[in-house]
Homo-oligomer: A and B are copies of this chain.
Amino acid sequence: MRDQRTVRCTYYLESEIPPEKAAALMAGEQSSGTFVPVPGESARIRERHAAQIVEVEELGVCPPSLASRAAPEKVRAALVTVDFPMENIGTDLATLHTTVAGNLFELGDLFACRLEALTLPEEFVSAHPGPAYGIGGTRELIGAAPGVLIGTIVKPNVGLSEDEFRLVVRELARASIDVIKDDELMTDPDYLPLERRVAVATEEIAAAEQVTGHPTMYAFNITGDLKGLRKRHDTVVRAGGRCVMLNIPVMGIPALEWLRSFTEVPIHGHRAGLAASMRAKGVGIDYQVWQQLARLAGADHLHVSGLGSKFYERDAQVTANVQSLLAPLGKTTTPLPVLSSGQNVTTPAPTFDAVGSTDLLMLAGGGVAAHPDGPAAGVRSLRAAWAAAVDGVPLTTAAAGRADDGDTDLLHAVQAFGRN
């Protein structure tokens, strides 16, 4: 039985040197070792502080994924599992990050080094509060909204005047949409400052709620300098805003952790920039790893890309992303997976088939704004598409049935976005 006081990592490695030796080099660099033996690296230190190689699974010869100083003759790949002593790390997220995903990516003897899996001991997990709201807390703030939550991004992403912005929010809020969010590019520009966006959006949402009875949640992007983060959060909360958004990879996990320590509303976690350290086969980290850091740091909503999206991840990977978020992480509250990019009425069915859950937020940008009958019809068409998906009714059947009853929202969406 393994020592519960270790952090277990599985890396995909490629090297010219034998996999065991490559693994030892990496484990040494990330714990008590250096490139040459130094005085003072005592048996006590090695025993208590050295990372332990638990398993090396050889995967055979392969073309090298990355360039390096060495000229590869024969590179072999392996999956290597390593245990890092918690004594080195404590329960600090930044120290964990540095240990499991720091200098090791620099090693010239490796032609690939990618952190594929991370298993944290209970002691580490329980030191962090995790999401304050998650799925349940988010639903409550949207009038106990059931099923898949439907959201959109204010489009165009950038450039709207205050009056144009007001009309977009008004139309969406009156359509009883669950969530509206800022684009990740939209922060606090002079032409439409955050303070004005907050004032306008909360006003429009409150007015619409008087009519619809449905409280729309707006995720205001408070990404920006840390000095002003609390002030921007307070601006949202004081105006009655129900959500703040952070571009987590750009801001850093510690910024998320800090925001969590004082936030009074859910944190919508965007992943803009994450692909820079996730997309290459040969280097970086897997989503499964990153989401654990983001959950422990307190993200209530986390982006996962989307099935059938315009982004690079294939549907199986997106499904795995969702499943990793819905899987337990100690006793922390479960965060809300956010599907985005190219989402429209054609995506609910394959998404529900793959993930088997309606604990999701589906963000459709063009899929709402570009509906031929307008954004309100876009929202209704997505709700109809999700109802069909959950009931197992084919999309075109559902669209035709509703059209027969005089409701053409879904039919027109299928005609506009259908891909057959």
Contacts and interface: CB of A to CB of B under 8 A. Distances in A.
Interface of A: 30-41, 44-45, 48-49, 65-69, 87-90, 92-95, 97-99, 101-103, 105-110, 155-160, 164, 168, 184-185, 187-191, 223-227, 247, 250-255, 257-258, 261, 272-277, 279-285, 305, 309-314, 341-342, 365-366, 369-370
B366 A98 contact: no
B66 A247 contact: no
Contacts of A108: 309-312
A309 B48 CA distance: 28
Contacts of A92: 187-188, 224-225
Contacts of A341: 35, 106
6 A-B pairs with the lowest CB-CB distances in the bound complex, closest first: A252-B252, A280-B280, A36-B366, A49-B159, A105-B275, A45-B159
B45 A99 contact: no
A321 to B, nearest CB: 12
A155 B108 CA distance: 21
A48 B191 CA distance: 11
Given A250-B97, A258-B226, A156 B187 contact: no
Chain A contact surface mostly: loop
Residue of A101, A184, A254 with most chain B CB atoms under a 10 A cut-off: A254
Contact of A99 (B41, B185, B253): B185
Contacts of A369: 38-40
A187 B41 CA distance: 19
B45 A156 contact: yes
A370 B39 contact: yes
A1 to B, nearest CB: 24
